[in-house]
Amino acid sequence: MADLLGRFSVHVRVTRPRRTKLGDHRPPGRGWRTHRISINDDLNPYAFLTTLVHEIAHAAAWERHHLGRRRIMPHGAEWKAAFAEMLAPVVGRGLLPADVEAALARTMLRPAAATCSDRDLALTLARYDPLDPGIIRAEQLAAGTWFRVDDGTVFCAGRVLRTRRLCIEAESGSEYVVHGLTKVRPLNAAEVAALTTRRLD
């Protein structure tokens, strides 16, 4: 990783978690002579590594193409080629768990714009996230299970829709789509009984 960072002038900052992104890249400009990369501080080691390589690939694509004054898409062919190239020295060296290496090797063939867009990679990396007792992921729920998300909203798990699942919100009875990787807390029997009583009232 030091070799990758040494290719460019890069300032890496670890920041508080952000819901909308795992990391970001900003090229030199506006008073900065270096590339600026930020990575969320709550990522497990393998997700952190993958996100860092993702953002370094943005720096590599910028370095190679910005002098031509040709505008490139953020996750276009130039970034995809750089990302695959950056992953090559990381994969196949036996330094990572076998499932992570296999997922990254597959990602090299068809890089996605975001880790969460690559379901296979996202699920593999998520296996190494520490989970609090009683917390599981929405996709692991049996249909009909009542559960609570982190803002306190209660849902009943419905059918799976590829990477998400259709759920019924307890308070309103409205249908919502919940991402399969969402961390949820299934309700225990007493909580379900109390919920049922409230709904009957």
Q: Give 102-145 pLDDT, tens digit per residue.
A: 999 999 888 877 776 787 898 889 889 887 889 998 988 999 99
Of 8-17, 62-71, 98-107, 134-143, minimum mean pLDDT range = 62-71
pLDDT given for residue 199 in this prediction:
63
Compute CA 72 distance to the chain's CA centroid, rounded to the nearest angstrom. Answer: 23
Q: How far, CA to CA in Å, does 56 sit from each of 26, 49, 100, 124?
A: 10, 10, 19, 21
Residues with Cβ within 8 Å of residue 92, at least 6 apart in sequence: 101, 105
Q: What is the pTM of this model?
A: 0.69
- HSE, CB side, 13 Å, CA atoms: give it for residue 116: 12
More confident residue, 93 or 169: 169
Kindly report the average pLDDT of the chain as a whole number. Answer: 87
Residue 142, token pair as written in the block = 């049996």
In the chain the domains, ranked by start, together with CATH numbers, are: 2-126 (no CATH), 136-200 (2.30.30)
Residues with Cβ within 8 Å of residue 165, at least 6 apart in sequence: 138, 139, 141, 157, 158, 159, 177, 178, 180
Residue 119, token pair as written in the block = 């379901």
DSSP code per residue over 50-70: HHHHHHHHHHHHHHHHGGGT-
Residues with Cβ within 8 Å of residue 117, at least 6 apart in sequence: none
pLDDT given for residue 94 in this prediction:
86
**Residue 38, SS3?**
strand
Q: Does residue 6 carry a pLDDT above 90?
A: no
Residue 49, token pair as written in the block = 């590594």
Q: Determine how many CB atoms are found less than 10 A away from the CB of residue 48.
A: 18
The single-letter code of the amino acid at 175 is E
Residue 113, token pair as written in the block = 């714009």
Q: Does residue 25 carry a pLDDT above 80?
A: yes
Q: Give 34-57 pLDDT, tens digit per residue.
A: 999 999 999 999 999 999 999 999
Closest by Cα among 78, 77, 100 to 90:
100
Residues with Cβ within 8 Å of residue 48, at least 6 apart in sequence: 39
